[in-house]
Amino acid sequence: MINVSTKNLGIIGYPIGHTLSPTMQMAAIKAANLDYSYIAIPVQKGRLIMAVDGLRSLDFRGWNVTIPLKSSITQLLDSLNADAKIIGAVNTVVNDGGRLTGYNTDVNGFLAALNEFGFMPEECNATVLGAGGAARAVIWGLCKRKAAHIAVGVRNPEKYKDIIEDFKVFDAIDIYHWESDEFKEQLQQTDLLINTTPLGMTPNVDEMPPVDISLVPEGALIYDVIYSPAKTKFLQKAEELGYPTLNGMTMLLYQGVEAFRLFTGVEPDEQVMLNALKEALQD
Query: Which residues are known to be catalytic?
Result: 70
How far apart are alpha carbons 268 and 257 in whole angstroms? 6
Burial 220-246 (b: 16+ CB within 10 A, else e): bbbbbbbbbbbbbbbbbbbeeeebebb
> Tell me, what amino acid is at 76?
L
Question: For the residues of 168-184, what is the DSSP string, one character each?
Answer: TTS--EEEEETTSHHHH
The phi, psi pair for 254, rounded to 5°, reads -75, -30
Please give the biggest Cα pair distance in the chain. 60
> Tell me, what amino acid is at 67?
I
85 class by beta-carbon count within 10 Å (0-12 exposed, 13-18 middle, 19+ buried): middle
Question: For the residues of 192-222, what is the DSSP string, one character each?
Answer: EEEE-S-TT-TT-TT---S--GGGSPTT-EE
